[in-house]
Amino acid sequence: NNTSEQQLYSSWAWQYKELVSYVREFGDACVPQRNAKNPVLGRWVNRQRSDYKQFLKGNTSYGGITKEKIRLLNNIGFEWSSRTRGRDSWDGQYEEFMSYAKKFGNARVPIKFQANPSLGNWVSMQRRNYTKFQEGNKSCSITK
């Protein structure tokens, strides 16, 4: 049914926009499944991972993820594995950042860094959080 497909996609697009907002706020797309601020988003992210696994197996009968959706999620640094969370994720991004600095001789990672989109988002978030920290804003995730 075309109408239900449109509704499903608009629901997907809505959650995708929520995820983009999450990435802007937290610097990564590692939404906890039990996200207190937005519990639906946590479950939706988990569903994308599950649908992706089915897609990789060639199972398209479930009507889940498409190549276009995968591309959109990849563009914002979506983590297809839920194994990297919290501190490990930050440390991993920091290691990527240090590798970038060594390779390119600077720390100016473009926000749309093709080779690693999540790194560009992460560096941008670190800069925003540092500015908040400098302003005395306690809501940032920077610590001394």
This prediction's pTM: 0.54
28 close to 87: Cβ distance less than 8 angstroms: no
92 close to 79: Cβ distance less than 8 angstroms: no
pLDDT for residue 105: 95
From the list 80, 8, 14, the residue with the least C-alpha distance to 50 is 80
What is the rounded distance in angstroms from the CA atom of residue 18 to the CA atom of residue 41? 7
57 versus 140: which is more confidently predicted? Answer: 57
What is the rounded distance in angstroms from the CA atom of residue 24 to the CA atom of residue 127? 11
Average pLDDT over residues 40-50: 90
The model's pLDDT over 79-104, given as tens digits with 9 standing for 90+, comes to: 887 654 444 467 778 888 998 999 99
What is the rounded distance in angstroms from the CA atom of residue 130 to the CA atom of residue 121? 14
